[in-house]
Structures are given as C-alpha cells and as structure tokens.
Amino acid sequence: MPSPSIDPRSGFCPTNRTFYSLRPETPLPPESLPISAAEFSLSLLGSSSLPLQPALIDAFSSASLSFPSLLSQSSSLATALRSSPFYLSPGSVAFILSPSRLEISVLYLALISIGVVVSPANPASSLSEISHQTGLCKPSIAFSVSSVASKIPSEIPILLLDSPSFTSILSSHIPNSPLPTIKQSDTAAILYSSGTTGRIKGVVLTHRNLIACIADQHMRRFETIAEAEAAGETPSQTVALFTIPLFHVFGFFMLFRAIATGETTVLMERFEFGAMLRAIEKYKVTVVPAAPPLIVALAKSPEVLRFDLSSLQTIGVGGAPLGRELAEQFIARFPNVDLVQGYGLTESGGSVSVTVGPEESKMYGSAGRLSANLEAKIVDPSTGEALGPGQRGELWLRGPIIMKGYVGDDEATSSTLDREGWLKTGDLCYINEDGFLYIVDRLKELIKYKAYQVPPAELELILHTQPGIADAAVVPYPDEEAGEIPMAFVVRQPGIRLTEKEIMDFVTKQVAPYKKIRRVAFVNAIPKSPAGKILRRELVQKALSNPPSKL
C-alpha cells in the first residue's frame, strides 16, 4: 500500500482523502516496453499448447473458430492490410460497422497488432450518428457488412466482412511479416460513449489502458483456478455467452479477456431472450455478462423454466445497481449461480470495481471493491471537497485503465480529466467502511424535486420488486410548483392489469414523501442502449410530446 495511514478495511487515506484498491497489485509490463494489446493478450494465451475447445461460436449458425484458426487468420489479415491495396500503417483508423460476427475478433486482433486504431460503432446507428462518429475518428478505411454498409459516408473505402474477397484474405496463409513497433502509449481504440445524457463522444483508449485491463482479469481468472485446484477441485472450462455486442466497451474488452484466458465465447449477432436461453442449454454456457434488465427477465419470465440452464455458474452484472429483492428473486430461481456485480464505463476501458467470491457477491446493491491498481475519490459536487467513507459525492478515478481523452473534443476532455489524471465519472456514489462502492445514480439524471434530489435508479429498483411489473424506468417530468416530479414508465407483465394508482401506492409505502412517483405511463417496452442502459432522453421526449393521459 502506498501509505501506512491507509485504513486496511476501507482503503481510505485521511491524509490525501483518497481511496486505494484493497486488491493485490496486478503486475504490468514496463511502460517503456514496446508491445500492443493484441500481442500482450496472445502472450498470456501462449502458443505452444493452444486450447482444444473453440475460441468462438456463433449462437445462431453454430459456426465456430478454433484458437489456431483465430491466430492464423488474424496473422494473414494483418499482413494483407499492410500491403497493397490497403497500406494501413500505425496510427491509421479503421471504422467498423457490423453486428457481432466471428470475423470481428479476427479483425480486432489483426488491426491492433499492426497499430491501426480500432473504432467500432453500433450498426443500428442513424446516418447522422455515423457521420458524427466518422467525423470524430477520421478513418482511412471502414469494415462493414452488406446490410448496413450504405450508412457509411461514400468517401470512406469499405471492405465487406461478408464478401468473398475478405474470406479469401483470411484463408490466404500469407507469410508473416515482422510487426511494427507499437508503444503502449499509442492509441489502440476509439470507442463511443452511449450518448444517454448528451452528444456521443469518442473515447480514446491506449494499448496501455487495454493491457492493464487484460492483465487484471487474467490474474483474477487464474487465482480462481488456483483456489479450485488447492481445494482438490477440477476447474470447469469457461464458456461465456456475450449478450452485449462487441462494439460496446464491455464486449470489446471481454473478447480480449477471453482470448488471453483461452475461454470459449458464444456470440449473438442480435439479442433475443429465447435464443439466449437456447444457447445456454445447447453450448453449456457457464458465464453470462448481463445488465440488470436481463436479471429481471431471468428472475421473472416463465419461459426460463422450459430450458436446462444447469451449466450456468456466474452472471456478471453491470450497467446499473442491482437491488437486494431482485437479487434474491434471481437466487431463489438459480440457487447455484453466483451474481457477480461490477461497475465500469467506456472511459475506464474495463472494470472499475467488482465483487469477488460468494461472500462479496452477497453485498447486494454494491458494485464491489475497487479493481487492482486504482485510486478513487468521492468529491462533493458543490464544494469540491474530497469526502470519506459513507459520504455521497461524485466518483473520481485514477489509474492505468483510465482513457487518454475524447477524440476531437478538447473541451470535454479538460472538463472530465484534470491535470493530475483524475477522471470525473459524473456518477453519484459512496464507498462504505468496508471499501465497497455503491452507485446511487448519474448526477445529471437526478430528479430535482423542490429542494430534494431523487435518484431514478432507486425508484426503479422498487418498481422491479412489484410482481406485476415486467420492466420500468423513471424520468423527471416538469412541474410548475416542484420543478420536476418523478414519472414512471411501466411495462406490465402479460395478463396483469395494474393501475396507475396501484403503482403509485406501492412505491409510496416504501419511500420518503418527496420520492413518490407522481405520474405513471404504460408502455410496451423501455428503450435501452445495446448495453442495457435506459435511454431516459427518449422517455423524457415521449413524456413531453404526449399528454400524460394518452401515454
């Protein structure tokens, strides 16, 4: 630990008002060592004895890719992209617009190994969003599929992943050429923030950022294996199902983690709840990274009971707080599945905090303890004062996983990253006496009711405990007297006729008067980002553009 004055229980140092990670430090390669994130991942995997199980499986087509094929195809592609007619060089940017496919992992490895900056985007994005993104990253080339390639500005050269020419490159077995020298400080990826509270921004992540994320996850995985072997148990083979797309930071990072640890990854080109259940049963999936809305569905949907999900060992939950009652509903249905709760953001490249082990996972509502090599501050948004354990404020973070900045937006970078390297997350949080992080809500999403601040996430957790509610979201609604009032959008369970009054009464019994739900609208679905985050702006616009009685 950096200082003897650090509280070993909370990780808090009263001298500099900073929280330090309680996890063992993760060794990282010297910053001066030239190595790309792709090369680092493959060095952890090793090449002398590659895993026998598939590296990747397509959940819909059942097509698969072995680890030897993944390595040989990415090597052939890397060589081809540096040659005619592409001539990609370190620092060039490749824009990628595609659903999750087996070829994406090959493409990511190939591009990053030759120093080309990977910039993947959501294929469901609008033309204006894609124009904004390509304007930020300024790509030399784009990779896409036939169904969405027309969205890419015409001046950008496009190579189609579903074309015969791309397939021929992968199978060409071009002799390897020496890889260029890549510094860890070089940009590896430009990923796009969700844009749930403002204009989409391009987050610049370096090779060092990704290496730090991968190293931490690799060490944690093999500590788990060592513990199992010490207990006389045979560690099971991990098969992870990605419900989150590969263009999202969670899917992007988890793919490199899976490569480094030799795990099998099952990809879904598009998310369908029934298809996910079938894939878990068919491929004996052991791990599913998920957002809380998926936990709601797994805990409540009768469809779940028709499938054999006994292979499931772990659900990794992120994106929003997971309440005790919802967690207990899930565990009642899946008593042998660990709920691992965590927190991260695009600007951190990976996991900021996570629960480790069964005991920590029982800390419902917590996002776990700070990941290795990280420092945190809880800062009062009004005064700028750094606060201690149990006090609420904005979470600031510093460490090797924190982004370099926002591409093409110096103003946003300077307002988010200070001169000492602290990232201001915009999340209202606290860290308790035992070092566990709790996310209250986004600062910008707090509802200002008179003199009070109401966290929408807190009310959503309560609504999810109502058996007749399938899904819910809470947003601010303008009010002349109060400023804003909490308004709930509710998806009812099939066949259930809950009324507006029943919902408001249900919440009223469990909260202080100023937190009461004061309007309710019934909808067929809650709009969400690919990572499962509620798109509150869409709901606010819906509320404002329609009279409440017609919502």
- Which has more pLDDT, 444 or 431? 431
pLDDT at 295 over 90: no
How far is CA 171 from its chain centroid?
Answer: 32
CB 406 within 8 A of CB 416: yes
Average pLDDT, integer, range 68-93: 94
The DSSP-derived string for 380-411 is -TTT-PEE-TT--EEEEEESTTS--EETT-HH
C-alpha span between 412 and 423 (Å, rounded): 11
Q: Higher pLDDT residue, 292 or 419? A: 419
Looking at residue 327, its pLDDT comes to 87
Q: What is each CA distance from 281 to 241, 402, 529, in whole angstroms?
A: 11, 37, 26
Q: 254-258, 444-448, 474-478: which has the minimum mean pLDDT?
A: 444-448
Residue ranges of domains in the chain, CATH in brackets: 12-23+272-442 (3.40.50.12780), 37-49+63-207 (3.40.50.980), 446-550 (3.30.300.30)
Predicted confidence band of residue 93 (pLDDT cuts 50, 70, 90): very high
Mean pLDDT on 86-112: 96
What is the predicted pLDDT for the residue at 96?
98
- Report the amino acid identity of residue 136: L
Give CA separation, 195 vs 9, 392, 529, in Å: 36, 25, 9
Let me know: does 437 contact 368? Beta carbons within 8 Å.
yes
CA dihedral angle for residue 508, residue 510, residue 513, residue 516, rounded to 10 degrees: -50
Query: Is residue 450 a contact partner of residue 482, using CB atoms and an 8 Å limit?
Result: yes
> How far apart are the C-alpha atoms of 511 and 352, rounded to whole Å?
30
pLDDT of residue 1: 47
What is the model's pLDDT at position 196? 44
pLDDT at position 155 is 96
Determine the length of the chain.
551
550 has pLDDT over 50: no
What is the reported pLDDT for 549? 44
Quote the percentage of the chain above a pLDDT of 70. Answer: 95
- Are residues 173 and 102 in contact, defined by beta-carbon separation less than 8 angstroms? no
Q: Measured between alpha carbons, how far is 208 from 218 in angstroms, rounded to an integer?
A: 15
Q: Residue 314, exposed/middle/buried by CB under 10 A (0-12, 13-18, 19+)?
A: middle
CA distance 152 to 303: 39
Q: How far is CA 421 from the centre of its chain?
A: 22
d(CA 323, CA 366) in angstroms, rounded, equals 9
Hey, how many other C-beta atoms are within 10 angstroms of the C-beta on 513?
8
Across 296-324, average pLDDT: 88
Residues paired with residue 427 on neighbouring β-strands, in sequence order: 442
Query: pTM for the whole thing?
Result: 0.85
Among residues 31, 28, 159, which one has the least CA distance to residue 95?
Answer: 159
Measured between alpha carbons, how far is 525 from 5 in angstroms, rounded to an integer? 50
Average pLDDT over residues 431-443: 91
102-145 confidence digits (pLDDT tens): 999 999 999 999 999 999 998 988 898 899 999 999 999 999 99
Who has greater pLDDT, 186 or 535? Answer: 186
Q: What is the mean pLDDT of residues 345-371?
A: 90
What pLDDT score was predicted for residue 80?
A: 93
226-251 per-position pLDDT tens digit: 666 777 777 778 999 998 889 988 88
Q: Are the beta carbons of 431 and 376 closer than 8 angstroms?
A: yes
Would you place residue 91 in the very low, low, confident or very high pLDDT band (cuts 50, 70, 90)? Answer: very high
Q: Which residues are CB-neighbours of 264 under 8 A, at least 6 positions away?
A: 53, 54, 55, 56, 57, 237, 238, 239, 240, 258, 283
Query: What 3-state class would DSSP assign to 338?
Result: strand
Q: Tokens standing for 538?
A: 């869409």
CA distance 73 to 32: 29
Rg (CA), the chain: 23
